[in-house]
Amino acid sequence: MKQELTRRPVSLLESIFGEDLLNNASFGTGIDIYKDENSYTVELEMPGFTKDDIDVQYNGDVLSIRAEHNESEEKDEKNYFYRSRKSSSVNRQIRFSDVDDSKIDAEYQDGILKVILPKKTQEEIVNRISIK
């Protein structure tokens, strides 16, 4: 057990916490979620992405935010000893229960994705059933 701890401490933590601790989304993507009486607001830090890199969907009470960005510097010379590429990805899912999905709005500015999810009104939440 001691050897396992020294060899693979990250994988042990991953098994305890159930997360990929080396994933960019775990470390580099700050997220704030707040609400008021009319809506929820999600703000996700996504520096380095463009608007076209980001996909936002709302389906089955789940807000899904996915993004992928790959950078590669093209050079004509083939004698390089080392070459690196930058790749970033984000994959977040957040469950909400009372959102009016027809009025969701998203904006990306200065590396921050802001998604506003208006809440359903009480009349929309209550499904009245007529009696025959």
In a domain, 10, yes or no: no
Concatenate the DSSP letters of all residues of the chain into one string: -HHHHHH-HHHHHHHHHTS-TTSHHHHH--EEEEE-SSEEEEEEE-TT--GGGEEEEEETTEEEEEEEEEE----S----S----EEEEEEEEEE-SSB-GGG-EEEEETTEEEEEEEBPPHHHHS------
9 part of a folded domain: no
Mean pLDDT confidence for 8-28:
46
For 35-54, the pLDDT digits (tens) are: 999 999 999 999 889 999 99
What contacts 85, CB < 8 A, 6 or more positions away?
70, 71, 72, 73
For the full predicted model, state whether its pTM sits above 0.85: no
Residue 112, domain extent: 18-120
Percent of the chain with pLDDT over 70: 65
Structure tokens of 54?
């980001």
The rounded mean pLDDT for the chain is 78
Q: Are 90 and 42 in contact (CB under 8 A)?
A: no
Q: Residue written as tokens 């904006």?
A: 107
Q: What is the pLDDT of residues 96-121, one digit of tens each?
A: 988 999 999 999 999 999 999 999 88
Q: Is residue 13 part of a domain?
A: no
Any domain includes 130? no
Domain count, the chain: 1
Say if 127 falls within a structural domain.
no
Amino acid sitting at position 28: G
- Distance in angstroms (rounded) separating the CA atoms of residues 8 and 2: 10
Say whether pLDDT at 72 is over 60: yes
In a domain, 1, yes or no: no
Is 6 a member of any domain? no
**CATH number, domain at 104?**
2.60.40.790
Of the candidate ranges 2-6, 29-33, 45-49, 82-86, the one whose mean pLDDT is the lowest? 2-6
Structural domain contains residue 2: no
